[in-house]
A and B are shown apart, each in its own frame.
Chain A
């Protein structure tokens, strides 16, 4: 009997989670279109509802009513199951992500471990989607997503481990409680930067939107999907974005901690702030190339995340004062920033060199013609 009651409660919890997450996705779609519009001298949606607020609803209805085309040559079973894998893995991690002290479907003592483990499952769905749709762009995108997401999973996991070392817990509630005096972004700024960048790559957002790059592989794994199947991918992408932003808020920005307002409000405020940065980056940067992306992962992100774990462990083991960790982290950030700057500004320096050589050549031409 108690088992049945538990089951009913779980079902109710999952239903509420589904409803809330759907609402969140609608709000994110609207927010992204508005934010991008403002960055791009546009208004974004204005016609459907007040401030275009109903536009995502209209889009969702349209997508669900559209014909769901299954290509003849596709592997029907794989083609059908791939979006399910992606969206289920996106949803299940939300079971244990708390939106406040007691706002959680199922509190797990190993919550962080669970989240990290299930976040990887979505990759399988993307690869299957690319493979099953019998499209070369799809395969290209699927393989790209496998390479990209697995590479960037490592920094995410390692930085999460560093935070767990600091908080001495994998329980998200305790991690947030450990940040009651100061958020971890103060002691681990390097960790925050790595987690945010790797998180962008994890959810395939600009400048790492390589596996579904529209100008190259025209949507990658999603190229053959339409209607409800496609909207499921879309849903999963936004839920994942929200999850990464929420984890950034929970692990580094002090979670729901904050003066005055209720904890859920603080949590949402911080999460949406991170999300707005994601949209801002999207409106600003071009896309990296796949080899540059992989080089960035393995040459910069992975070593730095190892460094983060090591300094967190050293700090915890020797019980050093907290500001030593800040300094160590900032040193790492500085070194990384300098290396990236050198790497990235190499062409700019060459451009300056070109300008100088051109000016010199013009001068010689001018002097030879005048004499």
Chain B
């Protein structure tokens, strides 16, 4: 039998037992969520060790940012986490606004929050669907994609694009939302709520789903913090940490919402936390729609070329996948001197080896699914 070409040697094991088989999973594998590659050492059906390989989607986004003007970079952020586009755009715009000391109009802030929370729901719906597929259930993905499709229809009405919106601008928005925005959202909300509930009902408490996910790769809060996990991964361990609450940005301090947390930090808790977050996001959108003020959506900057003063800024925000950090260094020109992103998926993925300890081969798929990675963001 042909050995797959793996550049690394088989690791020594403490108990010096023979490693049974080396299994190359990905980058062409239906459940590696894109082009991720795992080299698994398996002993029958048990996983002995894993070596993650990334970089198949590397486009050098951070370096590309250095050659683009500040406003052009928004599109690059769309393409990093291509499931949570608005959240990514928001983090970048906030970083540059902080550098320039720009005040964003109220209305723009509210619209940003509404779109970001809807995007969080769309992202988590995608997660629920793919989690179902990873666990072997075909139907939840259809239910959840209906909801995601509805959200994307709204995004298209607002920004003109279903995925790569390029709608947020430094200091505000590209343009105001369409006149019937309120009507669109009012029509969307009950339908979306139903979609979330349906995809929740069909999967979350299904007996087989529970027995597949519960107690799979549990992790304590201390360990999770040590590994740098953020977002639902960390909250599943019972640690109430959410950037929206810990260090409120935009207008998040004006809304009443809960931070759902798990307790065991296993795969099912991660799933449950994400499902509960969708309900909380719906609450935030409802409140934001009630408070949505009238007014301009662009700052005094207008559409002029952005030239931040010399300096640097770091901003963090709560993405659907965890905490994103954007670090911008400006040398006073119209292009950033350096731009660094702390992508949540990448940091969560780095815990893979720990999470796959003492699991079965079939669990590797579920654990990877519960990480909810987006390879565009991991590789950048």
Contact = CB atoms under 8 A, between A and B. Distances in A.
A357 B136 CA distance: 31
B361 interface: yes
B261 interface: yes
Interface in B246-270: 261-264, 268-269
Contacts of A216: 31, 361-362, 365
A218 to B, nearest CB: 6
A344 B205 CA distance: 10
A287 interface: yes
B161 interface: no
Instruction: Specify which of A136, A206, A290, A291 lies most central, judged by the most chain B CB atoms within 10 Å of its CB.
Output: A136
B139 A215 contact: no
Contact of A73 (B1, B31, B136): B1
Given A41-B146, A344-B210, A290 B136 contact: no
A142 B238 CA distance: 41
B300 interface: no
B21 A348 contact: no
B330 to A, nearest CB: 41
B172 interface: no
B185 interface: no
B2 interface: yes
Given A215-B365, A286-B132, A344-B211, A351 B272 contact: yes
Contacts of B29: 218
Contacts of A39: 139
Interface string A217-232: 0100000000000000
Contacts of A351: 205, 210, 214, 268, 272
Interface string B198-222: 0000110111111110110000000
Instruction: Specify which of A282, A285, A286 lies most central, judged by the most chain B CB atoms within 10 Å of its CB.
Output: A286
B117 interface: no
A260 interface: no
Interface in A249-297: 282-292
Interface in B152-199: none
Contacts of B365: 215-216
A290 B135 contact: no
B133 A347 contact: no
B142 A354 contact: no
Contacts of B264: 350, 354
Contacts of A291: 45, 360
B211 A140 contact: no
B127 interface: no
B362 A40 contact: no
Nearest to B1: A134
A286 B143 CA distance: 15
B143 A215 contact: no
Contacts of A36: 138
Contacts of A350: 214, 264
A40 B214 CA distance: 26
A65 B51 CA distance: 40
A99 interface: no
Nearest to B32: A215
Contact of B207 (A137, A344, A358): A344
Contacts of B54: none
B81 interface: no
Contacts of B30: 214-215, 218
B2 A287 contact: no
B23 interface: yes
Given A215-B31, A347-B210, A286 B21 contact: no
A100 interface: no
B78 interface: no
Given A215-B133, A215-B134, 7 more contacts: A40-B143, A42-B142, A140-B361, A207-B136, A286-B206, A289-B211, A350-B264
Interface of A: 36, 39-42, 73, 134, 136-137, 140, 206-207, 209-210, 213-216, 218, 282-292, 344-345, 347-348, 350-351, 354, 357-358
Interface of B: 1-2, 21, 23-24, 29-31, 45, 132-139, 142-143, 146, 202-203, 205-212, 214-215, 238, 261-264, 268-269, 272, 360-363, 365
5 contacts: A73-B1, A215-B31, A286-B208, A289-B212, A289-B362
